[in-house]
Chain A
Amino acid sequence: MSILRVVRRVVPPLLTAVVVLCLWAGAKSVFGIEDFKIPSPVAVAHAEMKYWPLLWRATLTTAQGAGAGFLASILVGIFSGAVLSSNRWVERAVYPFTVFLQTVPLVAIAPLIVLWFQPGFYSVAVSAFIVSVFPVIANTLSGMRSIDPPLNDLFQLYGAGPVTRLWKLKLPSALPDIFTGLRIASGLAVIGAIVGEFGAGTFDQQGLGIVVLSAKRNFSTDLVFAAVGMSAVLGLVAFAAVNAVGYLMLRRWHASAREN
Chain B
Amino acid sequence: MPVTEKTLSAAGVKVVGAVRTFNGGVCAVDHLSLEIGPGEFVAILGPSGCGKSTLLRMIAGLDRPDQGVVQVEGDTSIGRVGYVFQDAHLLPWRNVLTNVALPLELAGVDHAERITRATAVLSEVGLGDFIHRYPAELSGGMRMRVSLARALVTSPVLLLMDEPFAALDEITRQKLDEMLRQLWAERDMTIVFVTHSIAEASFLAERAVVLTRRPARIVTDHAIDLPVDRPAVLRGESVFAREMRTLYAALEEGMRA
Tell me, yes or no, whether A57 is within 8 Å of chain B by CB: no
Tell me, yes or no, whether A204 is within 8 Å of chain B by CB: no
Tell me, yes or no, whether A5 is within 8 Å of chain B by CB: no
Nearest-neighbor residue (CB-CB) of B90 within chain A: A151
Please judge, given known A-B contacts A150-B85, A158-B106, whether A254 and B92 are in contact too, CB under 8 Å: yes
Report how far A156 CA is from B136 CA in the complex, Å.
24
Report how far A250 CA is from B78 CA in the complex, Å.
31
Tell me, yes or no, whether A8 is within 8 Å of chain B by CB: no
Please judge, given known A-B contacts A156-B62, A157-B81, whether A253 and B134 are in contact too, CB under 8 Å: yes
Q: Are A151 and B60 in contact (CB under 8 A)?
A: no
Most buried by A among B79, B85, B86, B87: B85
Q: Are B135 and A253 in contact (CB under 8 A)?
A: yes
Report how far A148 CA is from B135 CA in the complex, Å.
15
Specify which chain B residues have a CB less than 8 angstroms from the CB of A119 in the assembled complex.
Answer: none
Tell me, yes or no, whether A105 is within 8 Å of chain B by CB: no
Specify which chain A residues have a CB less than 8 angstroms from the CB of B107 in the assembled complex.
Answer: 158-159
Question: How many of chain A's residues touch chain B, expressed as a range?
Answer: 20 to 34
Tell me, yes or no, whether A172 is within 8 Å of chain B by CB: yes
Specify which chain A residues have a CB less than 8 angstroms from the CB of B102 in the assembled complex.
Answer: 154, 158, 168
Tell me, yes or no, whether A56 is within 8 Å of chain B by CB: no
Q: Are B106 and A159 in contact (CB under 8 A)?
A: yes
Specify which chain A residues have a CB less than 8 angstroms from the CB of B83 in the assembled complex.
Answer: 153-154, 157
Specify which chain A residues have a CB less than 8 angstroms from the CB of B86 in the assembled complex.
Answer: 150
Report how far A164 CA is from B106 CA in the complex, Å.
8
Interface 0/1 of A95-138, CB less than 8 Å to B: 00000000000000000000000000000000000000000000
Tell me, yes or no, whether A160 is within 8 Å of chain B by CB: yes
Most buried by B among A148, A158, A159, A253: A158
Binding site for A on B (CB under 8 A): 57, 60-62, 78-79, 81, 83, 85-87, 89, 91-93, 102-103, 105-107, 134-136, 154
Binding site for B on A (CB under 8 A): 148, 150-151, 153-160, 164, 168-169, 172, 175, 250, 252-254, 258
